[in-house]
Structure 1
Amino acid sequence: MNIKSLLIGSAAALAAVSGAQAADAIVAAEPEPMEYVRVCDAFGTGFFYIPGTETCLKIGGYVRFQTDFGRDQFGNSDWNTWTRAHLAVEAKSDTELGTLTSVIAINGESGNGAYTYNFEDDGFEGLGSGSTSSFYIDEAYIELGGFRAGTFLNWWDNDMIGETETASNVTRFTSVRYVYDGGTFRAGLSIDEMPDYADWAGPGVGSGVDGIHNDVGFSGMVAATLGGVNFELLGAYDNAAEEGAVRAWLSAEVGPGTFELMGLYASGANAYYSKSEWSVAADYSFKATDKLSITPGAQYFGDYRLVNGNDAWRVGLTVDYQVVENLAVKATVNYTDQDVGKDEVTGFLRLQRSF
Structure 2
Amino acid sequence: MNIKSLLLGSAAALAAVSGAQAADAIVAAEPEPMEYVRVCDAFGTGYFYIPGTETCLKIGGFIRVQGSFGEDAADSRYNQGNLGGQSTSDWDVFSRAYISFDAKSDTEYGTLTGFFAAEFNADNDTDIGDSFIDVDEAYIQLGGLKAGFFYNWWDKGLNGETDSLGNFTEFNSIAYLYDGGSFQAGLSVDELEGTSTKSNGVGVSGIVSASLGGVSFDLLGGYDSELEEGAIRALLSADLGPGVFQVAGIWASNPNAYWEKSEWTVAASYRFNATDKLAITPGVQYFDNLSHGSLTDFSGDDAWRAGVTLDYKITEGLATRVSVQYEDADGEQDQVFGFVRLQRDF
TM-score by length of 1: 0.88
Instruction: Indicate whether 1:159 and 2:157 are aligned.
Output: yes
Q: Once the two structures are superposed, what CA deviation does each residue of 1:180-234 show, in whole Å capped at 9, x if it has no partner?
A: 0011100100000011233xxxxxxx4xxxxx31210000010011111111111
2:257 equivalent in structure 1 = 271
Could you tell me how far apart the structure 1 residues matched to 2:35 and 2:155 are?
Answer: 41
1:196 aligns to what? 194
Deviations 1:243-291 (A, max 9, x none): 1111111111111111111111111111111111111111111222221
Matching residue within 175, 180, 183 for 1:182: 180
Which residue identity is paired with 1:236? G
Aligned residue in 2 for 1:53: 53
- Give the count of matched residue pairs: 329
- Runs of 4+ in structure 1 over 6 Å off: none
Other-structure match for 1:146:
144
Residue 123 of structure 1 is matched in structure 2 by none
State the Cα distance separating 1:137 from its structure 2 match. Answer: 1.0
Residue of structure 2 equivalent to 1:104: 116
Q: Which runs of 5+ in 1 are unaligned?
A: 115-127, 199-205, 207-211
CA contact under 8 A between 1:67 and 1:80: conserved in structure 2?
Answer: yes
> Alpha-carbon deviation of 1:12?
3.2
1:231 maps to 217
- 1:271-313 per-residue CA deviation (whole Å, 9 max, x = no partner) reads 1111111111111112222211111111111113365331221
Distance in 2, Cα, partners of 1:8 & 1:321: 89
Give the equivalent residue in structure 1 for 2:306: 315
Say whether the 8 Å CA contact 1:230–1:251 is kept in structure 2: yes
Q: Does the Cα contact within 8 Å between 1:280 and 1:299 map onto a contact in 2?
A: yes
Match of 2:237 in 1: 251
Question: What root-mean-square deviation, in Å, do the aligned CA atoms of Structure 1 and Structure 2 show?
Answer: 1.7
Aligned to 2:272: 286
In the alignment, is residue 84 of structure 1 matched against residue 109 of structure 2?
no
SS at 2:30's partner residue? coil
Farther-moved stretch of structure 1 (40-49 vs 298-307): 298-307
Query: Which AA in structure 2 matches 1:93?
Result: S
Q: Is the 8 A contact 2:125 2:131 kept in 1?
A: no
Counterpart CA distance in 1 for 2:262 and 2:124 is: 31
Matched position secondary structure for 2:320: strand
Deviations, residues 85-128 of structure 1 (Å, cap 9, x unaligned): 111111111111111111111111121246xxxxxxxxxxxxx3
Give me the whole-angstrom Cα distance separating, in 1, the residues matched to 2:291 and 2:338. Answer: 19
Asked if structure 1 preserves the Cα contact closer than 8 Å seen for 2:168 and 2:195, the reply is no
CA displacement at 1:70 relative to structure 2: 1.4
Residue 72 (structure 1) shift? 4.2
Range with bigger deviation, 299-308 or 76-85: 299-308
Partner of 1:327: 318
Deviations 1:34-61 (A, max 9, x none): 1111111111111111111111111111
TM-score (norm 2): 0.90
Cα distance in 2, alignment partners of residues 132 and 296 from structure 1: 30
Question: Where does residue 14 of structure 2 map in the other structure?
Answer: 14
Query: 2:62 touches 2:99 (CA, 8 Å); kept in 1?
Result: yes
- Quote the Cα distance in structure 1 between the aligned partners of 2:121 and 2:216: 34
Deviation at 1:15, TM superposition (A): 2.3
Q: Quote the residue 1:125 is aligned against.
A: none
Moved more, 132-141 or 94-103: 132-141
